[in-house]
Chain A
Amino acid sequence: MGKTPKTFKAPKLFAGEFSAEQFQKKFLKRIYVKEYREFLNKEFLKNPKGLYVLKPGLDKKEAATLKKIAKSIKQNTGFVLKGKLILVLVILGAVIVFNLLFKDALAERAAETGLEGVFQARAEINGLKFQPLRGRIYLDSLAVADAEKPFSNLFELGKTEVAVNMLEVLKGNVIIENIESREIKWDTQRRSSGALPGRKSAQPQAAAPTTAGQEEQAGAKGPAQAAAPASDPFAFLGKAEGAAAGLLEREKANLKSSALLDELNKTYPALADKWSVKSKLMSEDLKELSPAIDAVSAIKVDSINSPEDAKKAYDAIEKASSTVNSAKKDVDRAYSEFGKDLDKVKKDKKAVSDAIDGDFRHLKSFISPDSGGGSFVAPLIESILGKNIARIYTSARRGLSYAASLKPKSKGKKEEAPGSHTRGFFVQFPAKTFPKFWLKNMGVSFGSEKEDHTSGGIKDVTGEPDLIGAPATFDFKNVMGRQLLGVSGFYDGRRGKDTVFDCDASLKNYSVTLTDGLQSLGIDRLECSSDAEIRVSIDDRNRTSGTIGIALRRIKITGSSAKNGISSRVIKALQAADVVSIQAGYSYSESGAVKMKIKTNLDKIIGDIVNAAVADAEKRLKKEMDNLIGDKLGQYDSHYADLLKTDGSFLDDKKGVGGYGKALDDKKKQVDERMAKLQKDATKKGTKELKKIKGKMGF
């Protein structure tokens, strides 16, 4: 029996019977090499049914070729690589399932393990959501135990989120959507031990009555609230109080009126004597004229009936007139000289008056507040507020410089000119452009919202604010019992904006303690509750302006050792006041020059007391000044009166000599009239006699 040749099995693809159509569609259509088609046609035969079947007894080479053809036919079906696609889909599915089921849990566990490794105590994270594609990590709460105090937490975080815009990160921009952590607490109690297994734990400790955070906040309150003014705002009250006593003695050398009176009192007696003597001599000279004047007066005009009588009268009058005129000239000359001295004396009188007024003003300046005629408390408040405003101003300017440093520095990169087709170029469309850095929101809060807490946040921090079209804003809030501190504002670095920085701060029920600077009032400690509204605004030219409104309530003064009257009255008035209000408006110019305007009811509250005290002091001062210069002034007045008396005497002499001259003139006039009458009568009589003679002679 001969050895039967070994036959090889054909691939499954070719097993069975195929109609002509099937044979064409399944095999021939999927073969693109002519040799393969010819090979298949040769290997398949038609059976009696007219169907194609593989010929029996394939040798090794034929089987291998068929295997190769079958493989290529399989590879040539379809357009998609199903295997790869399925693999990718499976990987994607696995990633999704991992994301949905395990990712957060695994991330939570990994974070807890990491924190436990760092702090060597139990760490608990709840509600962690890790979304790497969205660039977001969120957790509901986190608590890390204190390794030294296992029943206390080292710190706790409430809802916390960090979110970054991943698309922009890929573009090289850092856009932080949100960084927020709420209800941060530390040193809080734990229900279970936070010690890690295998680690030696300390003894559980009793719950601390207050949190460290509260202690820290309370500690922080101290120095801030006890911010005492460096200078004593009421120091001037002491000046008014003690007033005149030593002041006059101290300032004696500087008083002009005293020196002037001394000088005048030295020169005036001689002057007065000189003119007094001259005046007496003049009066006596005038008295010597009396006989001549009396003789003229005695002339009876009606008894003058002849020219001889008239001549006698005229001679007497002429002689008397000559003497009177001479005397008159002497009197006028003397009075003219006296008048010059009198003018000087009158000027001296005004100088004395001015010197006394000036000296009083000088002395008053030591006891009056420097009010400049307006509010005298305002300058004091200005000096206190000025320092705080300067601090605010400096801080604000420093903040602005920090903000300015956020602006990206221009690298002077040359933009490729459009039209360079060799390397191509970007055609710009109005697309939204993000800045290189943008912190959209950042928030943090300490303590629980229901208790004392502190919270704050900033928004839209960027160096390119024009791109986001909004200013950077900030807010801060601190609640401690009834005390509330709120700060909010914005920094606007956009081009063309008038206001660059604006900040409002509000304080409610804040307790203020002043311990320094009130010693002149005898106050050791002043406590009160205060409300304040502070506003700071900086414009694009670096000019700063703002307002400050302060209301002080429930003023309580303790440890008072007020000794003087004014201080105790001021203290009583302050304690009785419902509210002490201070409103201030201020501005800093570009060069840093400051202007301030202050309005306060302190003027009203303590102004009357202080003004009364100052008025009293002035009265005392006046009295003491009168005592000091009274004698000198009396002497001066006496000399002045003497000189005025001499002036009167001179005037009497002038009047007397004038009267003599008038009497002589009157008498001369009477004689002239008498002579004229006599001449008229003689003319009439002569005419009558001539007519009589003419008649007698027959004319």
Chain B
Amino acid sequence: MIITWLAKIIVAINSNVKPSQVCLGVCFALMLALIPAGVPAVPSANLLWIAFFIVTFFLKVNQGVECVFLVLFKLLVLLVNPFVSAVGYAVLSRPFLFDFFTALSNVPILYFFHLNHTLVMGGLVLGIVLFAPFYLLSGALLKLYRDSLREKIANSKLVKGFLKLPLVNTLSGIYTRAADFYAGIR
């Protein structure tokens, strides 16, 4: 699975994939990493997380990028959870937002979004705030790679030698078949 995702990333950044698809993959991964999928002490899953996850299925978002970055961001978010929670609490405890959140709490389906949890609200706010910067940053990095670095790396002896390894050849074949199948059902 991880190899498939890595292969997808390699394909995405090296092939003619639209940069926005890659950038959206990174941004949604950040959003999904910041928002907890489940809230401690609550049995049901977080519907907000599920909603975002489902949305990405209908958008042209690079799934491989999204999944790999989701894992990476998730690891990082564990370190900054107290900060995320603090941000959420800062938002939830704003007096002028009290009526708004009270009304929100009384909307039946929104209960399952757990918006009154500090990690959820903090993750959502940070996700929204960081969406645009991460989009632009990842786009710029991708452009830099494709325009300047890609050819150099592809032509380097290290990569060429690596690609000639039998295991890599086999994996490449597997990936190609998988990618074709994926494209077929897509």
Contacts and interface: CB of A to CB of B under 8 A. Distances in A.
Interface of A: 30-36, 68-69, 71-73, 75-76, 78-81, 83-85, 88, 167, 170-172, 416, 421-432
Interface in B121-175: 122, 146-147, 150-151
Interface centre among B41, B102, B112 (most CB of A within 10 A): B41
Nearest to B118: A424
Contacts of A33: 14-16, 146, 150
A367 to B, nearest CB: 77
Contact of B20 (A79, A427, A428, A430): A79
Given A32-B19, A33-B15, A423-B40, A428 B58 contact: no
B132 to A, nearest CB: 16
B108 interface: yes
Given A167-B111, A422-B82, A427 B186 contact: no
Nearest to B83: A421
A29 to B, nearest CB: 11
Contact of A424 (B36, B60, B104, B109): B36
Nearest to B114: A426
A80 to B, nearest CB: 6
Contacts of B17: 32, 72, 75-76
B95 interface: no
Given A33-B16, A81-B59, A84-B58, A424 B44 contact: no
Nearest to B185: A83
B15 A427 contact: no
A85 B88 contact: no
A33 B119 CA distance: 40
B122 A80 contact: no
Contacts of A34: 146-147, 151
Nearest to B21: A76
B86 interface: yes
A38 to B, nearest CB: 11
Contacts of B120: 424
A83 B186 contact: yes
B81 interface: yes
B57 A427 contact: no
Nearest to B104: A429
A171 B117 contact: no
A431 B16 contact: no
Given A72-B15, A423-B40, A424-B40, A81 B147 contact: no
Contacts of B93: 427
B10 to A, nearest CB: 13
B134 to A, nearest CB: 17
B148 to A, nearest CB: 10
Interface in B21-54: 21, 36, 39-41, 43-44
Contacts, number: 116
B18 interface: yes
28 contacts: A32-B16, A32-B17, A32-B18, A32-B19, A33-B16, A34-B146, A35-B151, A71-B183, A72-B17, A73-B16, A75-B60, A76-B18, A78-B60, A81-B186, A167-B108, A167-B109, A170-B44, A172-B44, A423-B81, A423-B85, A424-B39, A424-B40, A424-B119, A425-B89, A429-B101, A430-B102, A431-B102, A431-B105
Nearest to B142: A32
Contact of B106 (A81, A85, A427, A432): A432
A424 B88 contact: yes
A431 B108 CA distance: 10
B43 A172 contact: yes
A36 B60 CA distance: 21
A645 B113 CA distance: 117
B102 A424 contact: no
B58 A85 contact: yes
Contacts of A30: 18
Contacts of B105: 429-431
A642 B57 CA distance: 133
Contacts of A83: 186
A81 B86 CA distance: 37
Contacts of A81: 57-60, 186
Interface residues of B, number: 51
Contacts of A425: 85, 89, 117-118
A71 B17 CA distance: 10
A49 B146 CA distance: 34
Contacts of A78: 60
Contacts of B70: none
A80 B16 contact: no
A431 B116 CA distance: 11
A428 B116 contact: yes
B92 interface: yes
A80 B44 contact: no
B35 to A, nearest CB: 11
Contacts of A170: 44, 112
Nearest to B147: A34
A423 B122 CA distance: 12
Interface centre among B14, B44, B114, B116 (most CB of A within 10 A): B116
B54 to A, nearest CB: 9
Nearest to A85: B58
Contacts of B83: 421
B118 to A, nearest CB: 4
Contacts of B104: 429
A84 B102 CA distance: 36
Given A80-B59, A84-B58, A424 B101 contact: no
A667 B178 CA distance: 170
A82 to B, nearest CB: 9
B114 to A, nearest CB: 8
Contacts of A422: 81-82, 85
A5 B100 CA distance: 73
A424 B81 contact: yes
A323 B86 CA distance: 134
Interface centre among B58, B82, B116 (most CB of A within 10 A): B58
A466 B137 CA distance: 54
A424 B116 contact: no
B75 to A, nearest CB: 16
A36 B16 contact: yes
A467 to B, nearest CB: 14
Contacts of A31: 16
Nearest to A168: B108
B102 A80 contact: no
A320 B114 CA distance: 135
A25 to B, nearest CB: 15
B36 to A, nearest CB: 7
B92 A427 contact: yes
A411 to B, nearest CB: 12
Nearest to B18: A76
Nearest to B60: A79
A429 B88 contact: no
Contacts of B150: 33
A12 to B, nearest CB: 18
A78 B18 CA distance: 10
Given A167-B109, A423-B119, 17 more contacts: A33-B16, A75-B17, A80-B58, A80-B59, A81-B59, A81-B60, A84-B57, A88-B58, A170-B112, A171-B112, A416-B40, A421-B82, A424-B36, A424-B120, A426-B114, A427-B117, A429-B98
